[in-house]
């Protein structure tokens, strides 16, 4: 059966409006705007009056390659249509970063006294909020009341705030490593959220769902410094976790050793070996609605472990191995009718036939077969491609795209799988 082919829908030509509030975190927005522009996104920027105390319109004009708008352009219109109406209708995603306590209050109560807040009311697209303020301010009951009221509106999505050392920290705070909540999310997290919204248009189809994901390459140790492993970096699992989180799920990520930090909002469980991953997966499995086994789990391990480093001269010429338990097969045996179990099959050559065998033998609902012998695909890359297959016989081919896009395509695909 020839797979249905979905075109690669990149970011080129998509339209993102960025509203910059007054806060020292405004400098982080420069990276967001620059990265969006470099990826082909059409970017427009609005600065509040207080934002101009921290960053100039010229800076953001230069980065976005388009004049940055201020209140002076709003109150002295030179456009044939009102500027806030034009921008509100133009935007596909609206980002407000940093979001201040003042703007939180205005948005919560539908107030509009500047270009930014008027454009919010004149727009209909998803709005991504990235709060940033002093911990004491963020934790005020009035601010939290306004914040919770905002989040009850389905248009509003948020990233952060995170906990960390804030710009208002004193020298003593720095020395004592004091941290507090209210720190704006990092540019990479904001960018991932923007890209998810561009794909989903704000759809939250996983609200109320618990998604369990494994990622990374397990390590099976011979002694304290030597192990059998693989080159998996866990980036695909990270993308799956972000996509699920952005679609409203409660996400648990069980990961083998990784070099990146797990974004806020995702429950992370760190493991090393296949045995540890299997134990963690089995413990979390009963509560999960969707399970994605994206980890590159070892097939074998050294038959014996030596607790002290082996001298080179004592290393065996042939290494006795033994199989490790098949985590995915065990999950397939335990799967309940309401659960959706998804596997990954990293293959060379013909990727469909072995993926179909794995789908059937391990009682999966769906599987993503991805080639690791093609450029910019598989282990360590920022992009990927795959053929999705399900137990109903559907096959959909995803052309090379970012791993976050592939993750969203996968959740789109499994969303249509008939349940037992």
Task: Tell how far CA 243 is from the center of its chain.
Answer: 5
Which of the residues 125, 168, 340, 401 is marked catalytic?
Answer: 168
Q: Residue ranges for the binding site for CTP? A: 299, 309, 325-328, 344, 358, 362
Q: Which residue's structure tokens are 């998996």?
A: 232
- Measured from the Cβ of residue 367, the count of other Cβ atoms closer than 10 Å reads 28
CB 347 within 8 A of CB 369: yes
Q: Which residue's structure tokens are 């952060």?
A: 160
DSSP 8-state secondary structure symbol assigned to residue 96: E
Q: How many CA atoms lie within 13 Å of 25's alpha carbon, on the beta-carbon side?
A: 28
Residue 91 has phi, psi (to 5 degrees) of: -70, 140
Task: Give the pair of three-digit tokens for residue 291.
Answer: 């399970």
Helix (H, G, I), strand (E, B) or coil at 313: helix
The closest alpha carbon to 296, from 348, 378, 232, 211, belongs to: 232
User: E strands, 372-411, where?
Assistant: 383-390, 395-402
Cα separation of 269 and 271, whole Å? 7
Q: Residue ranges for the binding site? A: 299, 309, 325-328, 344, 358, 362
CB 178 within 8 A of CB 163: no
Q: Clarify whether 401 is annotated catalytic.
A: no
CB 217 within 8 A of CB 241: no
- Measured from the Cβ of residue 62, the count of other Cβ atoms closer than 10 Å reads 14
Q: Which residue's structure tokens are 């693989």?
A: 230
Contacts for 75-81: CB closer than 8 Å, 24+ residues apart: none
The catalytic site residues sit at 168
């Amino acid at each position: 059966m020839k797979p249905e082919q979905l075109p690669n829908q990149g970011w080129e030509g998509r339209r993102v409006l960025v509203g910059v509030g007054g806060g020292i975190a405004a400098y982080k927005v420069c990276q967001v705007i620059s990265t969006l522009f470099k990826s082909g996104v059409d970017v427009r920027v609005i600065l509040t009056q207080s934002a101009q105390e921290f960053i100039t319109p010229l800076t953001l004009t230069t980065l976005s390659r388009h004049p940055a708008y201020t209140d002076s352009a709003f109150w002295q219109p030179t456009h044939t249509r009102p500027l806030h109406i034009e921008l509100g209708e133009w935007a596909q995603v609206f980002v407000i970063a940093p979001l201040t306590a003042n703007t939180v209050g205005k948005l919560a109560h539908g107030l509009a006294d500047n270009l930014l807040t008027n454009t919010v009311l004149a727009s209909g697209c998803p709005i991504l909020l990235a709060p940033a303020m002093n911990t004491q301010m963020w934790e005020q009951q009035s601010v939290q009341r306004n914040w919770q009221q905002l989040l009850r509106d389905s248009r509003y999505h948020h990233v952060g705030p995170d906990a960390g050392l804030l710009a208002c920290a004193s020298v003593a705070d720095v020395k004592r490593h004091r941290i507090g909540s209210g720190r704006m999310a990092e540019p990479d997290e904001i960018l991932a959220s923007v890209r998810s919204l561009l794909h989903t248009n704000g759809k939250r189809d996983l609200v109320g769902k618990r998604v369990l994901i494994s990622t990374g390459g397990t390590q099976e140790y011979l002694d304290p410094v030597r192990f059998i492993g693989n080159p998996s970096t866990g980036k695909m699992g990270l993308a799956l976790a972000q996509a699920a989180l952005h679609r409203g799920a409660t996400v648990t990520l069980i990961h083998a050793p990784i070099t990146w930090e797990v974004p806020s909002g995702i429950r992370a469980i760190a493991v090393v070996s296949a045995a540890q991953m299997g134990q963690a997966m089995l413990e979390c499995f009963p509560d999960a609605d969707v399970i994605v086994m994206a980890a590159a789990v070892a097939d074998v391990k050294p038959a014996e472990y030596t607790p002290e480093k082996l001298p080179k001269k004592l290393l065996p010429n042939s290494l006795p191995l033994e199989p490790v338990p098949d985590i995915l097969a065990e999950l397939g045996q335990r799967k309940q009718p309401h659960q959706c179990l998804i596997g990954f099959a990293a293959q060379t050559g013909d990727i469909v036939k072995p993926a179909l065998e794995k789908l059937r033998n391990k009682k999966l609902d769906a599987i993503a077969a991805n080639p690791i012998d093609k450029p910019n695909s598989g282990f360590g890359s920022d992009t990927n491609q795959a053929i999705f297959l399900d137990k109903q016989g559907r096959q959909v081919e995803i052309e090379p795209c970012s791993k976050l896009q592939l993750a969203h395509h996968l959740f789109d695909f499994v969303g249509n799988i008939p349940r037992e």
